[in-house]
């Protein structure tokens, strides 16, 4: 089930403000349960808990995840200066898309306070403004899958191309994606993969070895896929041939 952490610049947080924001944005009364630094709410029939901790998040991999985040250059600086955090978690839920939608609605409103530095959904780190912008897609019935599946990039210093792999497709019962040593323009490759992730989740697609798909990202080119043992991760992965 989805778990998220919100990094805070100072050791305070207003759950009252959050409840006001949530009610206004999603036109839904959450009937919150409160106990000291804890808040429990029901969103779309799902129980979500928020716990305020006045200490930094103890997560050994977070600094390295920040350094690897090419889409947010200031991620490491924000991680190093945060002083407190919120943990956001959901009770076990059988529908992963509905669970992620509910969590995203909550995160959208939790991130709107002034002392919020960013959101950490391991291994992804997000600027508050970026997360909020992507979450707005829910208002037009579009899934913000870029917030749910992280795209990792490696090998920028190599002459034989760079590679991508996803983290999170398994939460939706699907194989992870890989792009191995491509020399395609970085932006085109990234957005092609991003749109294939969205397409697969929104349409519950199961790719077969040898399939050809017209991707909406990048330049809208057709790409072929193959399924084989993972290069950068365990198990079978879907290779996007670019």
pLDDT tens readout for residues 25-74: 998 888 899 888 999 999 988 899 999 999 999 998 999 999 999 889 99
**Which pLDDT tens digit goes with each residue over 70-108?**
889 999 999 999 999 999 998 877 799 999 999 999 999
Where exactly are the structural domains of the chain? Answer: 3-146, 150-241
pLDDT attached to residue 222: 79
Count other Cβ atoms within 10 Å, centred on residue 133. 13
Distances (CA, A) of 106 to 14, 93, 141, 203: 14, 16, 16, 24
* Token duo for residue 158: 């190599």
Side-chain-side CA neighbours of 179 within 13 Å: the count stands at 30
What are 156's strand-pairing partners? none
pLDDT attached to residue 220: 57
pLDDT attached to residue 235: 93
* Token duo for residue 113: 């306070």
How does strand 177-182 pair with strand 236-241? Answer: parallel
**Which pLDDT tens digit goes with each residue over 147-180?**
999 999 887 666 678 899 999 999 999 999 999 9
Write the CB contacts of 233 (distance below 8 Å, at least 6 apart in sequence): 165, 176, 178
Distances (CA, A) of 130 to 12, 137, 144, 197: 23, 12, 11, 18
pLDDT band for position 218 (50/70/90)?
Answer: very low
The separation between CA 228 and the C-alpha centre of its own chain, rounded to angstroms, equals 25
User: Bigger pLDDT: 190 or 5?
Assistant: 5
pTM of the model: 0.91
pLDDT attached to residue 57: 96
| Distance from C-alpha of 99 to C-alpha of 173, rounded to nearest angstrom | 14
* Token duo for residue 132: 């909020």
């Amino acid at each position: 089930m989805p778990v998220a952490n919100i990094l805070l610049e100072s050791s305070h947080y207003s759950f009252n403000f959050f409840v006001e924001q949530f009610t206004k944005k999603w036109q839904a009364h959450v009937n919150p349960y409160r106990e000291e630094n804890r808040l429990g709410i029901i969103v779309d029939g799902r129980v979500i808990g928020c716990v305020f901790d006045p200490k930094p998040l103890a997560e050994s991999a977070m600094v390295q995840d920040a350094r690897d985040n090419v889409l947010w250059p200031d991620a490491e600086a924000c991680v190093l200066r945060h002083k407190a955090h919120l943990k956001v978690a959901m009770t076990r839920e059988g529908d992963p898309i509905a669970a992620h939608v509910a969590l995203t609605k909550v995160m959208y409103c939790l991130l709107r306070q002034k002392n919020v530095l960013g959101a950490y959904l391991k291994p992804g780190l997000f600027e508050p403004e970026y997360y909020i912008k992507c979450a707005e897609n829910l208002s037009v019935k579009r899934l913000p899958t870029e917030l749910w599946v992280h795209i990792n990039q490696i090998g920028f210093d190599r002459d034989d191309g760079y590679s991508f792999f996803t983290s999170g497709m398994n939460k939706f019962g699907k194989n992870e994606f890989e792009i191995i040593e491509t020399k395609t323009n970085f932006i085109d490759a990234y957005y092609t993969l991003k749109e294939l992730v969205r397409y697969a989740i929104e349409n519950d697609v199961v790719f077969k070895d040898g399939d050809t798909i017209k991707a909406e990202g990048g330049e809208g080119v057709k790409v072929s896929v193959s399924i084989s043992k993972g290069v950068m991760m365990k198990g079978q992965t879907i290779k996007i041939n670019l």
